[in-house]
């Protein structure tokens, strides 16, 4: 899966979690929490949805990598290479 596709996947997950958010304006380099009204419960959902949809495991020590869209995509790229 390409970086671009991974970004779409994350947007899709975010739009499921928070359907009322304007995700079109999301800035990739700005932390999610500065732009979206998400709390720790929602954050866990990003991890769980990745696991549910693509069987991607994000160990707890790597949570910090999922801070912004940019860091999330960079982090997931090697992990999701084989994903369709």
Partner 1 sequence: MYDTVIIGAGMSGLAAGIRLAHYDQRVCILERHSTIGGLNSFYRLGGRDFDVGLHAVTNFVPKGTRKGPFARLLRQLRFRWEDFALAPQIGSEIAFPDVRIAFGNGIEVLESEIARCFPAEKDNFQQLLGSIIDYDELNQEAFELSTREFLGKTLADPLLIEMLLCPTMWYGNGRERDMDFGLFCIMFRSLFMEGLGRPFAGIRLILKNLIRRFRALGGELKLRSGVDHIKVENDRAVGVVLDDGQQIEAQSILSSAGLVETMRMCEDVSEVDESRSGRLSFCEMVSVLDAQPQDVGFTKTVVFFNDSEKFTWQRPEELVDLRTGVICSPNNYGYTSEEGQLPEGIIRITGQANFDQWESLSEPQYRVQKANWYDRMIESAVRFMPDFRHKVVATDMFTPKTIRRFTWHQGGTVYGSTHKQLDGATHLANLHICGTDQGFGGIIGAMTSGVAIANHCLSRQHGFSGDRSAENNPY
Query: What angle is formed at CA 49 by the lines to CA 80 and CA 21, rounded to 5 degrees?
Result: 110
Selected range binding partner 1 among 4-12, 64-72, 74-82, rule: CB under 8 A: 64-72
CB of 57 to partner 1, least distance (A): 8
**3-class SS string, 14-59:** HHHHCCCCCHHHCCCCCEHHHHCCCCHHHHHHHHHHHHHHHCCCCC
- Binding residues for partner 1 restricted to 32-51, rule: CB under 8 A: 32-33, 37-45, 47-48, 51
Residues 38/17, Cβ–Cβ less than 8 Å: yes
Given the rule CB under 8 A, which of 3-11, 53-61, 74-82 is the region that contacts partner 1?
A: 53-61
Binding residues for partner 1 (CB under 8 A): 16-21, 31-33, 37-45, 47-48, 51-52, 59-64, 66-67
């Amino acid at each position: 899966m390409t970086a671009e596709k991974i970004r779409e996947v994350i947007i899709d997950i975010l739009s499921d979690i928070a359907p009322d958010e304007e995700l079109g304006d999301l800035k990739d380099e700005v932390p999610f929490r500065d732009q979206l009204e998400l709390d720790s419960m929602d954050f866990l959902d990003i991890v769980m949805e990745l696991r549910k949809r693509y069987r991607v495991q994000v160990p707890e020590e790597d949570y910090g990598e999922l801070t912004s869209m940019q860091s999330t995509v960079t982090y997931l790229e090697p992990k999701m290479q084989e994903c369709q």
